[in-house]
């Protein structure tokens, strides 16, 4: 059976003290979750939060890593550095990175390669923008994103990949994909994974939904057979909301 997961993506929110306070609250409340729980924090929080969560079922993720191994890349943070903080995951391919920081398929393929080479698990985000959905092009868009960055991996490497389907029109907008839209896309994605890696690997692949997923709509989204959990932005910044989403999984 594949892993069910609720992952938070704090984005560029919370200073270090606020982040530590939120992680402390979550640690107290999350003792024996029915699903995997991950929190994605800014780089500067990683070491403190990972240390604080030692012995807790909650795992820590970076929200990005560099597309180079090491060296003269001022301001960048390598996958190896992320790993050295105690973080176990990295979120890659988020639409905000693709859109605002021009992350290309090739660059993301390299980030994924470096993350895996350094023992990190990857939450890889894909999703179409509003105009693409309106034109009925969502399937071809996500297929190209997978083919461009992660379908070159081996089946063994793929075991470290969690997919997150995040329709860009739903992120931070309060517009959520309907449970039917999410299920339809997730089933399509699982079919693509099956065609590339085989049915067993596809059945074992965790596919999260993200985009205005909150404590009110999570249960309905998670009730779909191919929706294995959520990648949560805004609602992950408030402990009681994030905890309610975990409980819904």
Return the active site residues. Answer: 94, 166
For residue 121, CA distances in Å to 110, 116, 175, 235, 248 come to 14, 6, 29, 23, 24
Per CB under 6 A, the segment of 45-53, 135-143, 152-160, 226-234 that binds ligand PGA is: 226-234
Closest CA to 112 of 97, 123, 96, 99: 123
Taking the complex as a whole, the smallest distance from the CB of residue 98 to ligand PGA amounts, in Å, to 12
Q: Does 8 bind ligand PGA (CB under 6 A)?
A: no
Candidate list 82, 146, 232, 245; residue touching ligand PGA; CB under 6 A = 232
Taking the complex as a whole, the smallest distance from the CB of residue 45 to ligand PGA amounts, in Å, to 17
Taking the complex as a whole, the smallest distance from the CB of residue 105 to ligand PGA amounts, in Å, to 19
- Nearer of residues 9 and 85 to ligand PGA, judged by Cβ: 9
Candidate list 57, 119, 152, 172; residue touching ligand PGA; CB under 6 A = 172
Candidate list 63, 103, 166, 228; residue touching ligand PGA; CB under 6 A = 166
Binding site residues, ligand PGA, CB under 6 A: 9, 166, 171-172, 210-213, 231-235
């Amino acid at each position: 059976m594949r892993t069910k997961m609720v992952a938070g993506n704090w984005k560029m929110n919370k200073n270090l003290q606020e982040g530590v306070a939120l992680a402390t609250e979550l640690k107290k409340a999350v003792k024996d979750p029915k699903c995997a729980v991950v929190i994605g924090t800014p780089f500067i929080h990683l070491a403190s939060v990972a240390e604080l969560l030692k012995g807790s079922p909650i795992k820590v993720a970076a929200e990005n890593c560099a597309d180079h191994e090491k060296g003269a890349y001022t301001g960048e943070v390598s996958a190896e550095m992320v790993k050295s903080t105690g973080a176990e995951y990295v979120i890659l391919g988020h639409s905000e990175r693709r859109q605002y920081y021009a992350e290309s398929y090739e660059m993301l393929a390299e980030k994924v390669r470096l993350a895996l080479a350094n023992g990190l698990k990857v939450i890889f985000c894909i999703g179409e923008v509003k105009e693409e959905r309106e034109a009925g092009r969502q399937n071809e868009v996500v297929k190209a994103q997978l083919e461009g960055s992660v379908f070159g991996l081996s089946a063994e490497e793929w075991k470290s990949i969690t997919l997150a389907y995040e329709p860009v029109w739903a992120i931070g907008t309060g517009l959520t994909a309907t449970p039917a839209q999410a299920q339809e896309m997730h089933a399509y994605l699982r079919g693509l994974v099956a065609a590339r890696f085989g049915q067993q690997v596809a059945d074992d692949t965790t596919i999260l939904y993200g985009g205005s997923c909150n404590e009110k709509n999570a249960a309905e989204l998670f009730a779909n057979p191919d929706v294995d959990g959520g990648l949560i932005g805004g609602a992950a910044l408030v402990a009681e909301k994030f905890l309610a989403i975990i409980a819904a999984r």
